[in-house]
Amino acid sequence: MFLRHLHVPMLAIAFSSLLDAAPLPAHPRLLFPSSEETLVAKKITTDPLAAQLQKNILARADATLKERTCRFEKYDGKRLLPESRLALHNVLHSAWAWRTTKDQKYFERTLREMDAICAMDHWNPDHYLDTAEMSTALAIGYDWLYLKLDDKQRSYYAKNLLDKGLAQIEGKIANNRWWQSPSNNWSQVCGTGMAFAAIALHEREPQRCDRVIEQSSKLLAQCETFYHPDGAYPEGPDYWHYGTNYQTLHQALDFLPQNQKPLGSVWRRTAEFVIHNIGPTGICFNYADGGMRKNYPTAAQSFLASKFPESDLPNIVRAHLNTYLDQPFSQGGASDVRFHPLHLLWLPTATAKRQPTRTYDLFHGLQDVAFARTNWSNHAAWLAIKGGTGAASHGHLDVGSFIYESQAHRWFIDMGKEGYNLPGYFGKQRWDYFRLNNRSHNTLVINDQIQSTPAKGCPISPWNPINSGAIECVIDLTTAYSSQADKATRMVRFSPTSGETRITDVILKPRGPVRWAVVIDSAFTIQGKKITLTNKGKKLTLTRHDSHGGDWQEFSLKPPTSAENPNIGYRMIGFTVPAAEKLSLDVSWR
């Protein structure tokens, strides 16, 4: 799926031919020039967190010495992507270890990975993300080891990078939408991967490489629109990390003309968005095609935090890294931590103690998302709720859906994505799949119909303090239920002190019964208008305050086909009310 109806303004950006401009820096020129080696070494000796990071990186590099290289294996019959990511992980870790220790074993391990990359007949250009990530891996290896490679090795690696990487974007693939204009994370990943290949190979075929560098630079500049107007990423947090890590890889190439000016405020806002999107349990609000798992702070967060030293981002990112490094070494597979060494390159400097980030915020975009919490501790109460639209790339029919944590437990859950290889998953059958439509999300179902997919996302009003000390915001759901009701809104009220939350849904002239429901993983007991959830000695009580009929009950989470996830371990509770001229469904919990 692509970002349908995304408006991309024409950008007045001047890209001089690199042949006419100053020559590119000498190798190594990608991210980590030789001049940075002394600075990194000093950082490791003077900053305890940097020293801890280096120790962790070297331990991972040591592990690669005993582990296999990448190989041509499509794990699902379509994608080589896990192997491309393994290659990038192994190259970055072993090459970083060699650059910072000069130990020959790491140099040889990097060569072994590069040889495995080149031994493949192709890098699966039919699924171009695979080619882009493999190109990134070989480009970095070639560039970082360049000064120690002999002429025969340079020619061998360059030919493979050219033939299996760069040349692939010059054929029919060049007409793909994600290469011509910003469409989704593909534009960020493939644009950067091809730029890295072209920059690494520039002295060999300068005019050919210039064309690719120019197109990728234009493309990446336009991808900033994904984050407009103030930081919410349309494809969800998993794809924020994917797209933004590649975006920042490109932004870090400070010799490119477009990267020689300060980052705009939208980049600070999107860095704050990711921080707010992490719950007290360490798990993100996994809307869209996302997974419910512990957060790992990625290198993009260090890069962005380092660009805004006057903010509280540096200290927050450093704290998250400290927490991650204190956990078992095994946490995070190669795919998750492939950019891990770059944290050391971009590690923000600790700043004087500042006022903590405010406990509630709202981020606008194609998918508006609002957050509120009682404090920044691991036992805080936290609410995350979204507006938006299923029309976004990787979007679900989840307008109005929310999650809630308190007492170090996630009470209301988004079950996440389905299998990408299901028939029509990114096409006409997408909304047939249970996990992708509103019947499986913590939102309304009217007349047993699925939500619409408006081109413009359903907006959320700013958080508004009220006399009781609570804050409230309102989501206008009307366009998501355009054929099912005259008007629909969801008002959220949250207490910043107790975490007590109240949701009031107003629906005018619904065309049929209205179901209110949430997904849980807890036991429950029903007592009239109250339902109490219990989980490992903790409890949460929901109370209805309206009188529209319908009792608390459990709904089935069994999907319509056996090919879908059976949703074992989850339950759905809620109630259904009959249609009326005006409904005002009112539920609170604490």
Instruction: For residue 370, count other CB atoms closer than 10 A to its CB.
Output: 27
Residue 193 carries which side chain, given as an amino acid letter?
Answer: G
Looking at the structure of the chain, the number of domains it has is 2
- In a domain? residue 3: no
Tokens representing 169? 């974007």
How confident is the model over 233-260, as pLDDT tens digits? Answer: 999 999 999 999 999 999 999 999 989 9
Q: Can you say whether residue 407 is alpha, beta or left, with left for phi > 0 and alpha for psi between -120 and 50 degrees?
A: left
How confident is the model over 466-512, as pLDDT tens digits? Answer: 988 999 999 999 999 999 999 999 999 999 999 999 999 999 999 99
- In a domain? residue 20: no
Q: Which of 223, 524, 504 is nearest to 385 (CA)?
A: 504
Omega of the bond prior to 262 within 30 degrees of 0, cis? no
pLDDT of residue 2: 39
Q: How confident is the model at residue 355 (pLDDT cuts 50, 70, 90)?
A: low
Q: Which structural domain range is residue 481 located in?
A: 360-589
**256/250 Cα distance (integer angstroms):** 9
Residue 470 sits in a domain whose CATH number is 2.70.98.70
**Rounded average pLDDT over 82-89:** 97
Predicted confidence (pLDDT) at residue 381 exceeds the cutoff of 70: yes
292 and 402 assigned to the same domain: no
Residues 459 and 478: beta-carbon distance below 8 Å: no
17-31, 53-67, 521-535: segment of lowest average pLDDT: 17-31
Percentage of the chain modeled with pLDDT above 90 = 90
329 and 387 assigned to the same domain: no
pLDDT of residue 357: 74
Beta-bridge partner residues of 465: 471
Q: How confident is the model at residue 396 (pLDDT cuts 50, 70, 90)?
A: very high
Q: Of 319, 346, 373, at which residue does a domain stop?
A: 346
324 and 367 assigned to the same domain: no
How confident is the model over 332-344, as pLDDT tens digits? Answer: 566 779 999 999 9
Q: How confident is the model at residue 22 (pLDDT cuts 50, 70, 90)?
A: low
- In a domain? residue 165: yes
Kindly report the average pLDDT of the chain as a whole number.
Answer: 94
- In a domain? residue 403: yes
Judging by beta carbons within 10 Å of its beta carbon (0-12, 13-18, 19+), is residue 487 exposed, middle or buried? middle
- Residue 440 Cα distances to 94, 119, 321, 414, 437, angstroms: 43, 45, 34, 8, 6
Q: What is the dihedral of CA 382, 383, 384, 386, to 10 degrees?
A: -170
Residue 426 φ/ψ, nearest 5 degrees: -105, 25
116-120, 185-189, 324-328, 541-545: segment of lowest average pLDDT: 324-328
Predicted confidence (pLDDT) at residue 12 exceeds the cutoff of 90: no
**301/108 Cα distance (integer angstroms):** 31
Helices (H), 470-583: none
81 and 163 assigned to the same domain: yes
**HEC states along 359-412?**
CEEEECCCCCEEEEECCCCCCCCEEEEECECCCCCCCCCCCCCEEEEECCEEEE
Predicted confidence (pLDDT) at residue 19 exceeds the cutoff of 80: no
pLDDT of residue 352: 83
Tokens representing 56? 């962790």
Residues 441 and 414: beta-carbon distance below 8 Å: yes
Tokens representing 298? 């990625």
Separation of CA 383 from chain center: 19
437 and 377 assigned to the same domain: yes
How confident is the model over 505-555, as pLDDT tens digits? Answer: 999 999 999 999 999 999 999 999 999 999 999 999 999 999 999 999 999
- In a domain? residue 29: no
Q: What's the start-to-end Cα distance of the chain, in Å?
A: 38
Percentage of the chain modeled with pLDDT above 70 = 94
Q: Of 323, 346, 369, at which residue does a domain stop?
A: 346
**334/348 Cα distance (integer angstroms):** 24
196 and 316 assigned to the same domain: yes
Q: How confident is the model at residue 23 (pLDDT cuts 50, 70, 90)?
A: confident
Residue 337 sits in a domain whose CATH number is 1.50.10.100
- In a domain? residue 11: no
Residue 298 φ/ψ, nearest 5 degrees: -90, 165
pLDDT of residue 308: 96
How confident is the model over 136-174, as pLDDT tens digits? Answer: 999 999 999 999 999 999 999 999 999 999 999 988 788
Residues 142 and 158: beta-carbon distance below 8 Å: yes
304 and 365 assigned to the same domain: no
**Rounded average pLDDT over 386-390:** 97
**Rounded average pLDDT over 392-419:** 98
Q: How many CA atoms lie within 13 A of 46 on its CB side?
A: 9
- In a domain? residue 355: no
Selected residue with higher pLDDT from 351 and 423: 423
Sign of CA dihedral 107, 52, 245, 323: positive
327 and 398 assigned to the same domain: no
**388/396 Cα distance (integer angstroms):** 10
Q: Which of 124, 133, 407, 457 is nearest to 287 (CA)?
A: 457
295 and 432 assigned to the same domain: no
Q: Of 346, 375, 394, at which residue does a domain stop?
A: 346
Q: Which of 264, 139, 265 is nearest to 194 (CA)?
A: 139
Predicted confidence (pLDDT) at residue 4 exceeds the cutoff of 70: no
Helices (H), 16-174: 35-46, 48-66, 81-101, 104-119, 128-144, 151-164
How confident is the model over 40-58, as pLDDT tens digits? Answer: 999 999 999 999 999 999 9
**149/28 Cα distance (integer angstroms):** 12
369 and 298 assigned to the same domain: no
DSSP assignment string, 327-369 = S-TT-S-TTTTTTTTHHHHHPPPP----PPPPSEEEE-SSS-E
300 and 439 assigned to the same domain: no
β-pairing, 553-555 vs 571-577, is antiparallel
- In a domain? residue 14: no
**475/500 Cα distance (integer angstroms):** 19
How confident is the model over 282-307, as pLDDT tens digits? Answer: 999 999 999 998 888 999 999 999 99
Q: Which of 402, 539, 573 is nearest to 473 (CA)?
A: 402
**61/95 Cα distance (integer angstroms):** 9
Separation of CA 549 from chain center: 40
DSSP assignment string, 446-493 = ETTBPPP--SSPBPBPPPEE-TTS-EEEEEE-GGGGTTT-SEEEEEEE
419 and 553 assigned to the same domain: yes
